Amino acid sequence: MSSAMNHYLLVFDHSSGKLVSHRDFGSDQRLALSEYAVNEAYYHDKPEIEIVLIGSDSMETVKITHANYFDGTVKIERSRFLADL
């Protein structure tokens, strides 16, 4: 494992239970944050879409620490506070 902090952007669709996209920005924090903001704006009216920016040493680590985004086990829990989802 490398000790460098890399940035990974995940876009997950809770309605389909699938990862829409994932992108590796390497150590370019500015670009990662910029793309995060672009995706947040693009999907702002789609509450079923989750945008996640993760700092990690590698994509392999992200796939372990955030495995539920990759293996289809992410589930939205229904709540009275999230009634419109």
Task: Print burial letters for 16-51: b (CB count within 10 Å at least 16), e (below 16).
Answer: eeebeebbebeeeeeebeebbeebeeebeeeeebbb
- pTM reported for the whole predicted model: 0.79
Question: Over the stretch 28-83, which tens digit does the pLDDT of each residue have?
Answer: 999 999 999 999 999 999 999 999 999 999 999 999 999 988 886 765 554 445 55
Between CA 5 and CA 58 the distance in angstroms is: 8
Between CA 85 and CA 48 the distance in angstroms is: 6
Between CA 20 and CA 2 the distance in angstroms is: 27
